[in-house]
Chains A and B, each alone.
Chain A
Amino acid sequence: MAEVLVFVDHVDGVVRKPTLELLTLARRVGEPVAVALGAGAGATAGVLGEHGAVRVLVDEAPEYGEFLVVPKVDALRAACEAVSPVAVLVVSSAEGKEVAARLALRTGSGLLTDVVDVEAGEGGVVVTQSVFAASFTTRSRVVRGGAVVTVKPNSASVEPVAAAGEVVALEVSFSQGASGTRVTGREARESTGRPELTEAAIVVSGGRGVNGAENFALIEALADSLGAAVGASRAAVDAGWYPHSAQVGQTGKSVSPQLYIASGISGAIQHRAGMQTSKTIVAINKDAEAPIFDLVDYGVVGDLFQVVPQLTDEIKARKG
């Protein structure tokens, strides 16, 4: 059976959820072979095997952490030569897309980014993308060379399927450009104790209407009552009320949760670009004309300072 390469996104050996979603999609096209790089890479094999990876190609060289992007491209190139995959799947993160693009160029493959669905077609994979702030859905395929596809988080479910997950060492010789960009410092983002924004099943966001950093406590309390991640509009981030890492939208994170609750957010096109594919959308806004109401499954025209605390209390009461 044809093999599909899945590039593993992990932090010190802990596999991040979008990679497990890639394995679900990969199985539609062929047998998944995972590639895990850097410190802790070997430790990913257990969980990858439980989700269908037949083999895990591993290289723990320090270069992956010391230099930007290129060493990973070198490794995937080596993996492509070893495996001759029908497609390479990568998580659509900022770095994932850069790695994928350079790999596609080197291997003479077609590149498809920000994909939300992958199927097997007659002449190779067929992918679905969502464009222009999700107002159009396009289907595309590769017409020349192999396929390198980056897939957005939350595009597929995680499905446990037992496979061998056999660890195989990957031989990589680094290219001349591999050490071109040195990482001279790294500061891990502080954990909020809440789910990761792009992976969360529920996202609760606040915008300019929240009117102050201290008031974000209301948004956080609602999020915590639902076990949700906290997001923010760019207006709230630019005002310094919430960190940029929580920004949802075109220049922030793209989210696609089961439930998105927007409070004090007008719903500008650039914000919608990052949340429009959420399954259920709820908004609280005091302006009945706010464009966010065009998207909602349920909306309340009202003052968030009244509605949000009442909602939080009611959820807590119902959960007991």
Chain B
Amino acid sequence: MSLRIVVCVKYVPDATGDRRFSDDLTVDREDVDGLLSELDEYAVEQALRIAEGAGDAEVTVLTVGPEDARDALRKALSMGADRAVHVEDESVHGSDVMGTSLVVARAVEKAGFDLVVAGMASTDGGGGVVPALLAERLGVAQVTLLSEVSVEGGVVRGRRDGDVASEWLEASLPAVVSVTDQSGEARYPSFKGIMAAKKKPVVSWDLDDLGVEAGEVGLGGAFTRVVSVAERPARTVGTVVTDEGEGGRQVAEFLAGRKFI
């Protein structure tokens, strides 16, 4: 039977642009340039490699996000994914991680999966917890933060480089995997891929399609609330000197003044 892989990707504000908050203290996703989170490109890449290795496999990319999030799906389709699911619903706006993970989990279930592949974290400040929450919600194994991953005979294996040790992990499918930016460079979409992507199916679902109540998500359903946002005061500009042979000693003098030496 065909291996069904669902890759979860997020559409995020461009980190090199001007990121900001809206009046309701949620991340402004409307008036800023966005793109497929770079860290999710690694997820798409590993999903494609696993699919290529399996032979008989289907790769679905899935995103929960605003209208423009379609751009992220297009990019993943042009890299080689087979089909896409876009969950778009006004009520999702302002969800916290519990709400987001609920919607993603329901959509993954509806799409049908043997393997879910996610990125290590969203580049717009995600905590890297959605994959663990998906595993909890779907009731399947969590094999996360892998710098190396393989799937063979219904078993997923991988290496997780932790704080104090590297661990080798193993779990039977179905499972949720997340991969790091050490897992292997993501491919660039080819011209052929970009053309082919235009013909690939993109289905749209809203909360009704997923059987999720509006009150379970969004600002109203959130467990946490931002109560204030302040722009961090710019660091007071320090001293910058040009080295004319004494630069090292000048730094030492500065460090001594601050009692570091």
Q: Are A188 and B165 in contact (CB under 8 A)?
A: yes
Chain A contact patch, size range: 35 or more
Main secondary structure of the interface of B (DSSP, over half): mixed
Which residues between 144 and 162 of chain A lie within 8 Å of chain B, taking CB atoms? Answer: 144-145, 150
Contact partners of B147 in chain A: CB under 8 A: 244
1/0 contact trace for A112-150 toward B, CB 8 Å?
111000000000001000111111111111111100001
Q: Which residues of B contact A105 (CB under 8 A)?
A: 98, 101, 133, 136-137
What is the interface of chain A mostly: helix, strand, loop, or mixed? mixed
* A135 contacts B231, C-beta separation under 8 Å: yes
Query: Which residues of chain A have C-beta atoms less than 8 A from B2's C-beta?
Result: none
CB pair A318–B180 under 8 Å, yes or no, is no
CB of A296 closer than 8 Å to a CB of B: yes
Q: Which of A138, A259, A299, A311 contacts B240 (CB 8 A)?
A: A299
A294: CB under 8 A from chain B?
Answer: yes
Taken together as a complex, chains A and B put the C-alpha atoms of A188 and B240 apart, in Å, by 41
Per-position 1/0 for B245-257, Cβ under 8 A of A:
1111111101110
Contact B39 A251 (CB under 8 A): yes
A145 to B171, CA, bound (A): 32
- In the complex, which residue of chain A has the Cβ closest to the Cβ of B140? A180
Name the B residues within 8 Å of A184 (CB-CB). Answer: 157, 168-170
- B261 interface hit (Cβ, 8 Å): yes
Specify which of A104, A133, A137, A182 is in contact with B169 (CB 8 Å cutoff): A182
Interface 0/1 of B117-133, CB less than 8 Å to A: 00011011101110011
Contact call B167/A101, Cβ cutoff below 8 A: no
- Give the interface of A toward B (CB within 8 A): 11, 68-70, 73, 93-95, 97-98, 100-102, 104-106, 108-114, 126, 130-145, 150, 177, 180-189, 198, 202, 226, 244-245, 250-251, 258-259, 269-270, 280-282, 284, 288, 293-303, 306-315, 318-319
B residues with a Cβ closer than 8 A to A are 15-16, 19, 21, 25, 39, 96-98, 101, 120-121, 123-125, 127-129, 132-133, 135-137, 139-145, 147, 157, 160-171, 175, 180-182, 222-232, 235-243, 245-252, 254-256, 258, 260-261
